[in-house]
């Protein structure tokens, strides 16, 4: 769990399986007990998305689903359908930086943003955050390879 901004909180976490999502939910309740969450979520297509969402959706007031730039990403439409089946409507946003922008527009006192579900998505949003705030980030996975 990485806190990009303390107040209002913007948190990223690479929770991508049921256990890590339950751990994240517990951590959010412990460290931010009075915060209501705006969730940015995406996952790889081989993950147990329903059980990950089961741990996270009860904490969230609003959900944006998107996908990372990785080829294994599940489609946002698939994840939105899973959210709907669990009683939570989700907005579909094609690009992770746009999902971050949408959530930031709705960020008001008492709310926080959590980005999770995929290591790849978290990396994409972290890069967008760094760019917006003039921060340096390490090279991407393939940027420094010799081939």
141 is a domain residue: no
143 located within any domain: no
CATH number of the domain bearing residue 68: 3.90.190.20
How many domains is the chain built from?
1
Let me know if residue 144 belongs to a domain. Answer: no
Residue 112 domain flag: yes
pLDDT tens for the chain, 147 residues: list them: 999 999 999 999 999 999 999 999 999 999 999 999 999 999 999 999 999 999 999 999 999 999 988 889 999 999 999 999 999 999 999 999 999 999 999 999 999 999 999 999 999 999 999 999 888 876 665 555 554
Three-state SS sequence of the chain:
CEEEECCCCEEECCCCCHHHHHHHHHHHHHHCCCCEEEEEECCECCCCHHHHHHHHHHHEEEEEECCCCCCCECCHHHHHHHHHHCCCCCEECCCHHHHHHHHHHCCCCCEEEEEECCHHHHHHHHHHHHHHCCCCCCCCCCCCCCC
- pTM of the predicted model as reported, rounded to 2 decimal places: 0.91
In a domain? residue 145: no
What is the residue range of 108's domain?
2-132
Indicate whether 147 belongs to any domain.
Answer: no
- 63 within some domain: yes
24 domain residue, yes or no: yes
The span from the CA of 93 to the CA of 19, in Å, is 26
């Amino acid at each position: 769990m990485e806190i990009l901004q303390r107040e209002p909180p913007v948190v990223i976490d690479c929770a991508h399986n049921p256990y890590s999502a339950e751990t994240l939910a517990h951590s959010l309740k412990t460290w931010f007990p009075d915060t209501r969450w705006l969730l940015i979520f995406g996952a790889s297509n081989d993950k147990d998305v329903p059980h990950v969402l089961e741990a996270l959706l009860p904490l969230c007031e609003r959900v944006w689903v998107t996908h990372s730039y990785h080829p294994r990403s599940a489609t946002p439409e698939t994840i939105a359908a899973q959210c709907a089946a669990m009683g939570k409507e989700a907005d579909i946003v094609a690009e992770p930086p746009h999902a971050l922008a949408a959530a930031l527009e709705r960020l008001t006192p008492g709310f926080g943003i959590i980005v999770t579900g995929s290591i790849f998505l978290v990396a994409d949003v972290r890069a967008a955050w760094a760019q917006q705030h003039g921060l340096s980030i390490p090279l991407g996975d393939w940027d420094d390879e010799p081939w």
